[in-house]
Amino acid sequence: GSHAVLPYNHWLRLLPAHLQQLDMESNGKSVNRDGEPVSYTTGPIVWGGEGTTGQHAYHQLLHQGTRFVSTDFILPLTPHHKRLEHHNWLVANCFAQSQALMLGQGPKQIPGDGRTKPHRVMPGNRPSNMILMDQLTPETLGALIAMYEHKVFCQAMIWHINPFDQWGVELGKQLGEAVHTRLTGEVHSPAFDP
């Protein structure tokens, strides 16, 4: 139901917002291609952000929260700058976060027997993907976007929904026109639902 995209690269910081639009606008449907209601969940809530920023924002929920959130870690292995020690720490953090989600930490791995021990247990077995590329280039960025577009299309085919319409968005636009005319006084229109 929820999918986080965590690029460990400053130049990919807006990728989660693009994928949010791609996935949620395409597959946020409640009827199939035949117009019949679906009896299953379609389209996850897609969110995320720059990996290291997320470590101080929402990674806690990923590691110990009660909701399962699938996660994509995205990492270019070669930077476009010469601060190699900085990049090595970035790579280390990306791999470590993925490893922590996968393996977790059981009570026997935590030293001592204090009151904080239960709070430091992490279940692990949290779903994640590690998407690596040699370096971020126009070609690797195109391949990354194409991969996500193909994923969304394949999900739509499996769910038997049409990913190419956005009738929910259209309704909001139509209602917005009526609100706008009321706000500007262009046309007298009936009162709105309070």
Residues assigned a catalytic role = 25, 56, 173
CA 165 distance to own-chain centroid: 21
Angular region, 48: left φ>0, alpha ψ -120 to 50, beta rest: left
Q: What are phi and psi of 130, to 5 degrees?
A: -115, 110
Q: In terms of Cα–Cα distance, which of 136, 15, 5 is closest to 79?
A: 136
Query: For residues 8 and 90, is the Cβ–Cβ distance under 8 A?
Result: yes
